[in-house]
Amino acid sequence: MASASGDALPLEAIVLIDVAIVLLAGAAMARFARRLHQPPVVAEIAVGILLGPSLLGLLPGDLPARIFPDEARPLLGAISQVGLVLFMFLAGWELDLTRLRGRGRAVGALAALAMAVPFALGAGAAALLYASQGTDDVGTGTFVLYLGTAFSITAFPVLARIIRDGGLSTSRAGTLAMACAAIGDVVAWCVLVLVVAVAGAGGTGEFFTVVALTLAYGLVMALVVRPLLARALLRGPGPAAKGALLVLIVSGVFVSSFVTSWIGIHAIFGAFAFGLVMPRRRTPALHHQVEAPIEKVSALLLPVFFVVTGLSVDVGALGVSGLLALALIVVCAVLGKFAGAALPARAAGLSWREATAFGALMNTRGLTELVILGIGRELGLISAQMFTMMVVMALVTTAMAGPLLRLLGMGGGAAGAGSERAEERAPGGAASLVVPAGGPGEGAAPPAR
């Protein structure tokens, strides 16, 4: 880009106008998405793809390269990482593992199947696609394990948003989906840590070093950081230092992210872990001083992450073979979640309507999937073409949930919730699976992604 005088603009000026373009495009698309009853993440993923080579790149003049020049992309990536780690912290804070106590074996079995079946189908698809989509530096086993994990993901934060917006927080389908997604997210992140450790390690000795450091980090977070945070939150900041608590927590998120990067398991794991060890006792003051400001900053910066991601997505470059592979990926992803979630839920006593809604909810992937795909691209686990196909799959599966729920008559807010409460009172069936009040889906609002 050049200024009015003909001189090249400073890099920081280009980055600033790029961020403005991203925010305005995201806001416009979000309004359109709301009319389609879609969560914000669908609009933001779409904006990222539209501003990249898939659409804007089709116009004359190589507009993506002119608007988002190569030299500006590292700075845009750094900005997006700030929004991303803050979002992952909020996602970890929202994921209250204590809510899973006493849910019974049925919920655990449903959660396991909702992960295992799509994992198996995803691993099978990965094995078929390795010859054409694998990279020279990554073995078949690592490629299959990574993609199996990516297929099995359910995006806990966007799922919570869909459930709340649809008035399904008290329904059996909604509460089961929240509980199963919480269990699945924990398992998936643990598997992903293992995959990243394997991919990033230079040998067996380095791999065990990464694992040992990760375990030590986890112990320090649980036994040292968590009690210190509990004490700091209990005491609270004094009147003269209203922002001290916010500074303390945000600094802790960044330090934790740095430590996990130093260990070799990516910065987002540190942010997510810091959220997990945060005390769950949320007061109005804590929400006002800490949670709300972080949510606002994350909401402002995350669209940059989607655009940085979208600049690497080129749907037009897939070709016929790529489109066939994309069809295979989407079919395996959807069938895996519905076969692994809806059918077992029906066998457990839910009606076909509830079980189908449960499958549709578990099929949402959203931002969590893009985070995992970004890690895979960064580590060279997947090719650029496979990255494009998986991003499109994440967009399609997330966008499916709203229309399916409305088709089932379960996405209409209060009316949908009322009908589900009436079904809950019916004797027999899956009544034992209903999560009690105060379980997943209630409490503070999660990040809206």
Domain ranges of the chain: 11-76+83-426
Task: Decide: residue 444, CB within 10 A, 0-12 exposed, 13-18 middle, 19+ buried.
Answer: middle
Task: Indicate the SS3 state at residue 8.
Answer: strand
d(CA 8, CA 254): 34
Distances in Å between the Cα of 108 and the Cα atoms of 183, 209, 249, 349 are 8, 32, 33, 15
Mean pLDDT of the chain: 81
Neighbours of 65 (CB within 10 A): 14
In CATH terms, the fold of domain 11-76+83-426 is: Na+/H+ antiporter like fold (1.20.1530)
Task: Decide: residue 202, CB within 10 A, 0-12 exposed, 13-18 middle, 19+ buried.
Answer: exposed
pLDDT of residue 362: 93
Range among 45-54, 119-128, 172-181, 376-385 rated most confident:
119-128
Q: Is the pLDDT of residue 237 over 90?
A: no
Interval 354-363: pLDDT, tens: 999 999 999 9
pLDDT of residue 420: 38
Give me the mean pLDDT over the 215-237 stretch.
Answer: 86
* Whole-number percent of the chain with pLDDT over 70: 84
Interval 254-285: pLDDT, tens: 999 999 888 877 788 889 889 989 987 777 87
Q: Is the pLDDT of residue 240 over 80?
A: no
Name the more confident of 210 and 350.
350
d(CA 206, CA 199): 11
* Residues in the chain, total: 449
Q: Is the pLDDT of residue 446 over 80?
A: no
Q: Is the pLDDT of residue 171 over 50?
A: yes
pLDDT of residue 233: 81
Name the more confident of 372 and 192.
372
pLDDT of residue 410: 80
Contact 177, 410 (CB under 8 A): no
What per-residue string of b and e applies to 156-170 under the rule 16 or more CB within 10 Å gives b? bbbbbbbbbbbbbbb
**Of 108, 188, 197, nearest in space to 147 by CA:** 188
Half-sphere exposure of residue 253: CA atoms within 13 angstroms, side-chain side: 28
pLDDT of residue 128: 93
Which amino acid is located at 40 in the chain? P
Task: Indicate the SS3 state at residue 169.
Answer: coil
Task: Indicate the SS3 state at residue 2.
Answer: strand
Give me the mean pLDDT over the 181-206 stretch.
Answer: 74
**Taking the alpha carbons of 11, 13, 19, 25 in that order, is the dihedral positive or negative?**
negative
Give me the mean pLDDT over the 91-118 stretch.
Answer: 75
Give me the mean pLDDT over the 106-135 stretch.
Answer: 89
Task: Decide: residue 400, CB within 10 A, 0-12 exposed, 13-18 middle, 19+ buried.
Answer: middle
Cα radius of gyration rounded to whole Å, the chain = 22
Q: Is the pLDDT of residue 430 over 50?
A: no
d(CA 85, CA 417): 33
Q: Which residues contact 7 (CB under 8 A, 6 or more apart)?
A: none
d(CA 402, CA 399): 6
Q: Is the pLDDT of residue 102 over 50?
A: yes
What per-residue string of b and e applies to 246-277 under the rule 16 or more CB within 10 Å gives b? bebbbebbbebbebbeebbbbbbbbbbbbbbb
pLDDT of residue 443: 41
pLDDT of residue 437: 37
Q: Is the pLDDT of residue 423 over 80?
A: no
Name the more confident of 419 and 313.
313
Written as one string, the DSSP assignment of 284-345 is: HHHIIIIIHHHHHHHHHHHHHHHHHHHTT--GGGSHHHHHHHHHHHHHHHHHHHIIIIIHHH
Give me the mean pLDDT over the 320-347 stretch.
Answer: 93
Give me the mean pLDDT over the 425-443 stretch.
Answer: 39
pLDDT of residue 124: 94
**Of 127, 134, 174, 158, nearest in space to 33 by CA:** 158
pLDDT of residue 440: 36
Half-sphere exposure of residue 273: CA atoms within 13 angstroms, side-chain side: 29
Greatest distance between any 2 Cα atoms in the chain? 77
d(CA 294, CA 287): 10
* Whole-number percent of the chain with pLDDT over 90: 29
Interval 371-404: pLDDT, tens: 889 888 888 889 889 999 999 999 999 999 888 9
pLDDT of residue 18: 93
Contact 413, 166 (CB under 8 A): yes
Residue 417: pLDDT band (50, 70, 90) is very low
